[in-house]
Every structure is written in C-alpha cells, then in structure tokens.
C-alpha cells in the first residue's frame, strides 16, 4: 500500500508540471492565437483597401517591408492610405487596416466616436509606447492615468491661463521684430515658430527662462522629431515591434540613443530649474510651475515623464497649427481682412496682448481658429484599446482591439459640415455650431482622455495671430489643396507652407490694399 503511494507521488508531480506547462502554453500562445483568429474571421468582411493575404497593408504603407523603409515614404503612404480608405467607404462604416494579420479598426463617424471615446478605462494602442513618453499622461494605463490626470488638471484651469498668457506675450511680442528681415519674400516660419513654442512650454511647465539653454532647446527639437519619425517606422514594421530586435537595425540603435539623450536633457533642465528657482522663487501661487505640482504627487521618475510629455505634446502641435492658420489666411484675403479689423479693434497699435478677457472677446478669431483646426487638425488620428466589447454602427468591436479614430475624416463629414472642404469660419456662428455634435469636432480629442492643454493651445494660437496679423499682411504662394500631406504621429505638410509677409506701414493704406 505504502509502496503504491511512493510510485504515484512523482507521477503526481509530473502531472502538475504538465498542467503548468499546458496552462502556460494556453495563456501565452493558444489563447492569443485563438483570439487573433477569431478577430481575423470577425473583421475580415469589413471595408478595407485590397491587401496581401499574409502581410495585409504593410507593403502599401512601408514599401521595403520586411526591411525598414524611408520615413518620408512611410509617412506619405500612411496619409494616402487613410485618404483612400475613407474615400472608398461611402457609408462611413468601419474600415480595417491590416498590419500583417493584426487588424486595426478605423472609425470616423461621429456616433462611432461617441461610442468609443467616452469610455474611461481605455488603453492606448501598442505603438504609443514607441513615442518614448513612458508613463506620461498620453501613454499611461488607466489606473496610473487617473491619479496623474487628477494631479495635473489644476495646472491647466482657466485661472492659470491668465498667467500663461502673460508668459506667452513675453515671447511672442518679439516675433514680428524677428520677421522684419524676412518680409516680401516666400518664407516658411517652421523653425522660428517651432523654437518659439518650445521656449514657451519650457518656461510654463519647467520655469526655464525663455533665453536660457538655447543649445539644449535646439537639440530637444531635433531629438523629439527624430523619435516621432522612428516611432512611426516601428509601428509600420512588425520586425521592429520587439525591443530586442530593434538593436539589430541602425535606426533602432540611434532611436534608443535618442531616448537616452532626451532623458539626460530633462535632467539638465531640472538642474537648471533648481538654480533659477533658488535665485528667484515664485511669489504668487499662479507662478508655480508644473514641476512644483508634480513633486507633490509623484516621484522623480514620474515628474520627468510628465515634464517630457507636456514638452513633447505642447510645442509641435501648436507650431503646425499656427503654420496652417497663417497659410490659410494667406489664401483667404476676405477672411484675413475681417480678422484684422477685429484684432485692431481690440488690440490697436502695440497694445499688449496679455489680457485674457480681451482675447476671448475676439469671437471671429475663435471661429477662424476652429475652422482651421477642423480642416488641418495637427493630430489626425488617435488610438484606443477598450477593455470591453462595444457595438459601433451595428458591428461589434471586441475588447483589446486596436482602434484608430480618423479625425481628418470626422471633420469632413458632409452630413455635419455642408461643403466640407470649404474654409468657412461662419460654420461656427452659434446658430450653426449648435447643430454640430460635440463628437464631430475633435481636434483635441474627446471624452476623458481629451487634450489637457487645449485651452493653453487655443490661447497661444490667438496671441501669435494677433501679433503677426496686426504687423503684417499675409499672402500664400500656393493653395492648401496643392500641399501634399504626410502622417507622422502628427499630420504635416510634405512641402513648405510658404507665405509672403508685407509690413502694414499704414493702417489706412492697408485697409485699401486688402
């Protein structure tokens, strides 16, 4: 009897071992494979561009696949892919992007946006992590996101915008002066605006004086641009999805090095900030920067994550929007004239533009900017992964599916925006705008994970426009339609947005000219 027990014990041990291995295989291999097969079967009937059975749309997006392609090709193809997919989907039902065998569901209809983007427990798709923002607000998972969002939200409330606008004014009032040697010839203000928006956000969130650390700021711009581009390259090539493999590619190596360099830079910004604050500590509560606030709620790692997130999210988006708004003005002299009138009525001569309430009284400026953000949203698609199944336009989207919301398409829905390609600020008159569903205008996202900096962004755009427009009249060298677009993480013009600035010597003369 005893003998039998001793024989069955090792057997029992091996049985448990087999069960553990079987469970492990089930969890790591079998379950995900079955889930994937189920999704492939479920989504294969949805609208999509012609695809390869195994590689899906990867060759369309990344022409050298399986080898890394040139970034310019990927970003242009990506935009073209979106355009063709949406334009061939007449009823705005769901579409699919097939990254190999992996489906990404594309939505654009405002009802679908409402169904997906109002969910709170959302994760971001896998490729967001390539942007290098770690657990910063944009990329963090729901549990950490809730804590950090609650902590950071007070920093961006309206009361603080009144202080931000004063800081913005300090930088932006210098811009017309800097442009004086560039008048009467075609220019793209990309570098000037890009540097300037970075200087402001670093001043606002990290107390870095506008003129300090010039070299570091230039390097930051280059590094963030390069990381954004490689992130897109990684997303479009499954071989680059694995951290372990990117080390075998030159771009992968330089990407990792760039991430390290950004971290080092953030440390040096923090060091510099310490010195600045010791020399001149903030006097009023509104002068406290974001780092002050973060230090109360998180450790040094968390503070750095949020610092780099707000710097990355808070300069390029504003910069691209501003370039588009100036370019659009240069193509619409009538709109420019009306805006100019409004601006000089509220801010004649060199009146400082740091009066929050007066800026908000410029209602046409607000409508004009909304129209510009509708037609040229700097972020043209955003991603979601839901933790529950959701029914969208009659089709079930399973939990854990990658979903892209295509903002450019949401903003050109003809049933919401008649004559959608027309640049028409009048759409935003109260009697018209009251008919536009909130989920149909989403340049700053929608729902709980919307843009935390949207008031800041709108205010900054307004201050820039007031300063530039009251000093210069603007003509564009091309039409908006002739500018090809490319899709990196943000949507960018693939050609310079050239404008010609002319000094407004004399207001009366200018009125006649316009």
Our finding on whether 330 is near ligand HEM (CB under 6 A) is: no
Of the listed pieces 38-46, 64-72, 167-175, 376-384, which binds ligand HEM according to CB under 6 A?
376-384
- CA 145, CA 189: separation in Å to the nearest integer? 35
Sole binder of ligand HEM in the list 445, 466, 488, 504 (CB under 6 A): 445
Q: Which stretch binds ligand HEM (CB under 6 A): 65-73, 242-250, 447-455, 495-503?
A: 447-455
Write the burial class of residue 275 (CB in 10 Å: 0-12 exposed, 13-18 middle, 19+ buried): exposed
Q: Is residue 378 a contact point for ligand HEM (CB under 6 A)?
A: yes
Segment contacting ligand HEM by CB under 6 A, of 90-98, 277-285, 450-458, 495-503: 450-458
Of 380-399, binders to ligand HEM (CB under 6 A) are: 382
Is 69 among the residues that bind ligand HEM (CB under 6 A)? no
- 451 lines the binding site for ligand HEM (CB under 6 A): yes
Question: Under 8 Å CB-to-CB from 281, ≥6 apart: which residues?
Answer: none
Q: How far apart are CA 112 and CA 110, in angstroms?
A: 5
Identify the CA nearest to 257 among candidates 227, 280, 282, 215.
227
- C-beta of 203: minimal distance to ligand HEM in Å? 12
Residue showing tokens 């010839």: 185
331: which residues sit within 8 A by CB, 6+ positions away? 423, 476, 479, 480
Q: Minimum CB separation from ligand HEM for residue 42, in Å?
A: 25
Q: How far is the CB of 354 from ligand HEM (least distance, A)?
A: 18
84: β partners: none
Beta bridge partners of 383: 404
Q: Is the peptide bond before 66 cis (omega within 30 degrees of 0)?
A: yes
Closest approach, Cβ 150 to ligand HEM, in A, equals 10
379 binds ligand HEM (CB under 6 A): yes
> For ligand HEM, which is the closer residue by CB, 47 or 455?
455
User: Is residue 457 involved in binding ligand HEM (CB under 6 A)?
Assistant: yes
For residue 362, say whether it is annotated as part of any ligand binding site: no
Sheet harboring 402-406: ordered strands across?
95-99, 102-107, 402-406, 381-386, 122-123
Is residue 226 near ligand HEM by the rule CB under 6 A? Answer: no
CB of 65 to ligand HEM, least distance (A): 26
Comparing every residue's Cβ against ligand HEM, the nearest one is 453
Q: Does residue 417 sit in helix, strand or coil?
A: coil
Positive or negative torsion for Cα 150, 153, 158, 164: positive
CA 504-507-510 angle, to 5 degrees, is 65
Number of residues near ligand HEM (by CB under 6 A): 23
Scanning 270-278, 325-333, 437-445, 497-505 for contacts with ligand HEM by CB under 6 A, the matching segment is 437-445
Q: Is 439 in the site for ligand HEM (CB under 6 A)?
A: no
Q: Do 123 and 131 form a contact (C-beta atoms < 8 A)?
A: no
Report the alpha-carbon distance of residue 287 to residue 22 in Å, rounded.
59
Q: Does the protein bind ligand HEM through residue 325 (CB under 6 A)?
A: no
Does 313 bind ligand HEM (CB under 6 A)? Our answer is yes
Q: What is the DSSP string of 145-158?
A: HHHHHHHHGGGGSH
Instruction: Identify whether the C-beta of residue 231 lies closer than 8 Å to the C-beta of residue 127.
Output: yes
Choice from 252, 330, 443, 493 touching ligand HEM (CB under 6 A):
443
Q: Is 138 in the site for ligand HEM (CB under 6 A)?
A: yes
Interaction of residue 318 with ligand HEM, rule CB under 6 A: yes
Site string for ligand HEM, 291-310 (x = CB under 6 A): ------------------xx
Question: Does the footprint of ligand HEM cover residue 207 (CB under 6 A)?
Answer: no
Helical residues (DSSP H) of 280-429, grouped into ranges: 290-297, 300-331, 333-346, 356-360, 363-375, 407-410
Position among 151, 224, 304, 452 found at the interface with ligand HEM (CB under 6 A): 452
Compare residues 304 and 344 and give the one whose CB is closer to ligand HEM.
Answer: 304
Which residues within the stretch 145-164 sit at the binding site for ligand HEM (CB under 6 A)? Answer: 149
State the pairing for strand pair 122-123/186-187.
unpaired
Instruction: Summarize the annotated binding site as residue ranges.
Output: 451
Residues of each annotated binding site for heme: 451
Contact residues toward ligand HEM (CB under 6 A) are 137-138, 149, 201, 309-310, 313-314, 317-318, 321, 378-379, 382, 443-445, 449, 451-453, 456-457
């Amino acid at each position: 009897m005893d003998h039998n027990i001793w024989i069955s014990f090792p057997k029992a041990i091996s049985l448990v071992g087999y069960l553990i291995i079987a469970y492990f295989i089930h969890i790591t291999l079998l379950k995900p494979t079955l889930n994937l097969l189920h999704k492939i079967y479920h989504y294969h009937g949805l609208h999509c561009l012609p695809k390869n059975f195994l590689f899906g749309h990867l060759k369309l997006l990344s022409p050298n696949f399986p080898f890394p392609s040139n970034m310019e090709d990927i970003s242009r193809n990506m935009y073209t892919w979106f355009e063709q997919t949406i334009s061939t989907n007449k009823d705005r039902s769901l579409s699919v992007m097939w990254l190999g065998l992996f489906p990404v569901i594309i939505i654009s209809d405002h009802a679908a946006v409402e169904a997906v983007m109002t969910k709170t427990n959302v994760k971001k798709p896998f490729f967001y992590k390539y942007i290098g923002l770690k657990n910063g607000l944009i990329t963090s998972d729901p549990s950490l996101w809730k804590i950090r969002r609650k902590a950071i939200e007070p920093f961006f409330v309206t009361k603080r915008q009144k202080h931000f606008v004063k800081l913005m004014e300090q930088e932006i009032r210098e811009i017309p002066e800097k442009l004086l040697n560039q008048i009467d010839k075609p220019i793209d203000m990309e570098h000037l605006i890009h540097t300037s928006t970075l200087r402001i956000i670093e001043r606002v969130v990290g107390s870095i004086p506008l003129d300090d650390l010039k070299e570091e700021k230039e390097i930051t711009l280059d590094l963030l641009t390069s990381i954004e581009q490689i992130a897109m390259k990684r997303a479009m090539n499954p071989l680059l999805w694995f951290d372990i493999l990117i080390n075998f590619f030159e771009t992968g190596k330089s990407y990792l090095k760039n991430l390290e360099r950004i971290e080092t830079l953030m440390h040096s910004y923090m060091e510099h900030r310490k010195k600045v604050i010791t020399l001149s500590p903030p006097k009023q509560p509104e002068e406290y920067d974001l780092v002050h606030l973060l230090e109360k709620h998180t450790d040094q790692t968390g503070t750095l994550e949020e610092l780099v997130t707000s710097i990355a999210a808070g300069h390029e988006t504003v910069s691209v929007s501003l370039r588009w708004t100036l370019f659009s003005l240069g193509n619409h002299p009538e709109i420019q004239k009306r805006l100019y009138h409004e601006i000089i009525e509220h801010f004649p001569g060199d009146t400082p533009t740091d009066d929050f309430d007066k800026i908000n009284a410029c209602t046409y400026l607000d409508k004009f900017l909304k129209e510009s953000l509708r037609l040229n949203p700097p972020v043209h698609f955003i991603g979601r992964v839901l933790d529950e199944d959701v029914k969208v336009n009659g089709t079930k989207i399973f939990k854990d599916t990658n979903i892209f919301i295509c903002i450019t398409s949401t903003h050109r829905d003809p049933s919401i925006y008649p004559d959608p390609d027309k640049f028409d600020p009048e759409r935003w008159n109260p009697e018209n705008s009251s008919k536009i569903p909130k989920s149909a205008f989403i340049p700053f996202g929608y729902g709980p994970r919307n843009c935390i900096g949207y008031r800041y962004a709108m205010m900054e755009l307004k201050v820039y426009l007031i300063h530039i427009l009251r000093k210069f009249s603007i003509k564009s060298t091309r039409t908006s339609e002739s500018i090809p677009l490319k899709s990196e993480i943000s949507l960018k013009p693939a050609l310079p947005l050239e404008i010609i600035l002319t000094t407004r010597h004399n207001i009366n003369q200018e009125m006649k000219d316009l």
